[in-house]
């Protein structure tokens, strides 16, 4: 008996590359789930944060993990961003290969398997690195010596998230130890106040931002008393950046999510519904009493759930909510007044857009109700 080898289609993207644009959202050639980006909303988000940074007198270094796309980074840089922040070696490689030569890798990088991949970036003077320990800094020092170029280093300060970072009082001691290693130049301080996601009111978020500034000023004091020259003080996420200015001693902000926004950002008062640029276009594949089932489950939308919005909800049916997800099925709970039929297409809002983008090879720019551009997610799954 002979068997026939069946090869799957090459490009697993929703819209075949041969289909000419523009394409209406109900075009049968567009498969779902497809991640859509409203380009007008994207552009206004980019412009708004650039203006905010300008008014605050701080540099803007967007965190690229939220979009992972050279095309979107290009829009941020064109609007005045000084460079990008990245979280992984793979992201750093991707954006450097795309021509971006001012990158801060805001993650402690450990081990030669990862460090050696950064050699070309260091040799080009394109990389600032971050540490909260002498062990991590020793790896950076070996890399700098090998690349023949000094590495600018930021000390990570814990301003309340209790993830990574040293207490402000240790900035002088650790800073001096790091600065004594060959090839390393301690140039500043960095913090991320991610715990702003855990509070329930706007005044509490403002208070966290005030702590960010106060504790960084304290750390700077310790570092300068130890003889270090601090020129970079980097803080501020999409949630806390609006409360930080140069007058607080901050020199740059690193918001990420703001570029597309999501339901977590709304919940933390950092955007409004019409500032969410992303949605997942889905198709109803089964309907039952009070529910409709669509073709995106937790492998696409991710299992992330928040108290206020569950797994998300559809843009156009605010009283409905995504009540349940299996791997490939999403269950939409519908109000009595709403009836959907098999084949209806509905756009779901993201709970956490950064996780959605990481899973997409290609997303689609929408203007005037039509897909007008294909946007490559260049650093998709580049988490190593």
Ligand X SMILES: Cc1ncc(COP(=O)(O)O)c(C=O)c1O
Please give the residue ranges that form the binding site for ligand X (CB under 6 A). 63, 66, 85, 106, 192, 194, 237-239, 254-258
Nearest-Å Rg of the Cα atoms of the chain is 23
| Dihedrals phi, psi of 225, to nearest 5 degrees | -65, -25
Shortest Cβ 195–ligand X spacing (Å) = 11
| H/E segment holding residue 146 | helix 134-147
Residue closer to ligand X by CB (options 183, 242) is 242
Mutual angle of helices 39-56 and 70-78, in 10-degree steps: 40
Residue closer to ligand X by CB (options 85, 216) is 85
- CA 128 to CA 254: how far, in whole Å? 14
Residue closer to ligand X by CB (options 66, 304) is 66
SS3 at position 230: coil
Structure tokens at 49: 């944060």
CB 253 within 8 A of CB 53: yes
Residue closer to ligand X by CB (options 251, 257) is 257
Shortest Cβ 382–ligand X spacing (Å) = 16
Shortest Cβ 355–ligand X spacing (Å) = 11
DSSP letter at 19 equals S
SS3 at position 152: strand
Shortest Cβ 238–ligand X spacing (Å) = 3
Shortest Cβ 367–ligand X spacing (Å) = 25
SS3 at position 291: strand
Residue closer to ligand X by CB (options 228, 260) is 260
Q: Count of CB atoms within 10 A of residue 147's CB?
A: 21
Shortest Cβ 104–ligand X spacing (Å) = 9
- CA 129 to CA 155: how far, in whole Å? 9
Shortest Cβ 237–ligand X spacing (Å) = 3
- CA 64 to CA 70: how far, in whole Å? 9
Q: Count of CB atoms within 10 A of residue 169's CB?
A: 13
Shortest Cβ 6–ligand X spacing (Å) = 42
Shortest Cβ 178–ligand X spacing (Å) = 18
CB 301 within 8 A of CB 354: no
* Phi and psi based region of residue 210 (left: phi greater than 0; alpha: psi -120 to 50; beta: remaining): alpha
**Pick from 79, 84, 95: which is nearest to 43 by CA?**
79
Is cis: bond before 326, omega within 30 of 0? no
SS3 at position 116: helix
Residue closer to ligand X by CB (options 174, 281) is 174
Residue closer to ligand X by CB (options 106, 216) is 106
Shortest Cβ 103–ligand X spacing (Å) = 13
Residue closer to ligand X by CB (options 222, 264) is 264
| Dihedrals phi, psi of 126, to nearest 5 degrees | -100, -5
Residue closer to ligand X by CB (options 93, 212) is 212
- CA 18 to CA 13: how far, in whole Å? 12
Residue closer to ligand X by CB (options 88, 282) is 88
């Amino acid at each position: 008996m002979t068997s026939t080898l069946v090869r799957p289609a090459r490009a697993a993207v929703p819209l075949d590359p041969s289909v000419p644009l523009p394409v209406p959202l109900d075009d049968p050639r567009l498969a779902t789930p497809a991640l859509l980006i409203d380009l007008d909303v994207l552009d206004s988000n980019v412009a708004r944060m650039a203006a905010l940074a300008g008014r605050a007198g701080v540099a803007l270094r967007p965190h690229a993990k939220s979009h992972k796309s050279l095309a979107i980074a290009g829009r941020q840089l064109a609007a005045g961003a000084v460079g990008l922040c990245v979280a992984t070696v793979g992201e750093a490689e991707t954006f450097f290969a795309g021509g971006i030569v001012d990158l801060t890798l805001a993650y402690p990088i450990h081990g030669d398997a990862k460090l050696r991949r950064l050699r070309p970036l260091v040799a080009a003077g394109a990389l600032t690195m971050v540490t909260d320990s002498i062990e991590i800094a020793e790896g950076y020092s070996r890399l700098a010596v090998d690349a023949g170029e000094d590495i600018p280093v930021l000390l990570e300060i814990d301003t309340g998230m209790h993830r990574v970072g040293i207490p402000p009082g240790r900035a002088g001691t650790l800073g001096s130890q790091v600065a004594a290693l060959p090839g390393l130049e301690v140039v500043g301080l960095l913090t991320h106040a991610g715990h702003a996601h855990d509070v329930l009111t706007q005044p509490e978020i403002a208070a966290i931002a005030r702590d960010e500034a106060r504790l960084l000023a304290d750390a700077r004091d310790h570092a300068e008393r130890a003889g270090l020259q601090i020129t970079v003080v980097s803080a501020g996420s999409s949630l806390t950046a609006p409360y930080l200015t140069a007058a607080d001693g901050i020199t740059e902000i690193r918001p990420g999510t703001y570029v597309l926004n999501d339901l977590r950002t709304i919940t933390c008062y950092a955007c409004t519904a019409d500032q969410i640029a992303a949605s997942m276009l889905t198709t109803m594949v089964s309907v039952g009493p009070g529910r409709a089932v669509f073709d995106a489950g937790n492998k696409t939308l991710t299992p992330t759930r928040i108290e206020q919005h569950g797994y998300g909800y559809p843009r156009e049916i605010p009283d409905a909510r995504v009540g349940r997800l299996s791997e490939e099925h999403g269950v939409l709970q519908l109000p009595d007044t709403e009836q959907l039929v098999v084949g209806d297409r509905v756009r779901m809002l993201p709970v956490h857009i950064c996780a959605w983008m990481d899973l997409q090879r290609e997303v689609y720019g929408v203007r005037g109700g039509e897909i007008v551009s294909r946007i490559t997610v260049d650093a998709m799954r580049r988490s190593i």
